[in-house]
Amino acid sequence: MEAKLIVNIKEYVENNLTEGNLVVVEAIKVAPIRARKGNIGETIISWSVDQNGNPVKEKEAAVTIDATGETGWIATKVDNDGNPVVDQNGNYNEWIIPNETFLKNYEQDPNNPDLFRKVAQFQSFVQINEDITFNDRYNGMYTLAKGGYLNITNLDKIYAVSKRDFEDTYKIIVDNNLTR
């Protein structure tokens, strides 16, 4: 799937919020990840699927050194037992997290030192109703399939989460109760 609509992501979100086409939801990340320090230049492809189960190459990026002077972390989606998840197309769900971001936002799971959990914090998302492609601030062009979510907690640092990954990873908060 290639999105035909290439957008400036900040303008896209602001315009669609103003027009009432997007609804903001608050959620917290509850799923753990496996993570390891990456090597400079190591390339990671982030895969997802569209609404029909077809593979979507969301982005391809290389590990770099960030403002801390360290390489980024390679995160891998895991199941409830901590095993890497492989989708129906044989792809791992992996992505790069800059070292600075990782250190601020993740902590090692005390029950399993191979896993990391996001430090609990509320985040704001909107669910998109069309396929879009945009320039991701870290990794170049990113394609998000219809039904996916944009994290708009900080409008200057918007990022995408596929529908499948959002449902596996986040819990929407409604009336201070976790639901989903």
Dihedral sign for Cα 19, 27, 169, 178, please.
negative
Which pLDDT belongs to residue 51? 73
Report the predicted TM-score, pTM, of the whole model to 2 decimal places: 0.70
Which pLDDT belongs to residue 19? 94
With CA atoms as reference, report the closest residue to 160 among 14, 71, 46. Answer: 46
Which pLDDT belongs to residue 175? 36
Q: What is the mean pLDDT of each run of 10 residues along the chain (180 residues)?
A: 74 94 91 94 88 82 93 91 86 92 92 88 92 77 89 91 89 55
Which pLDDT belongs to residue 16? 93
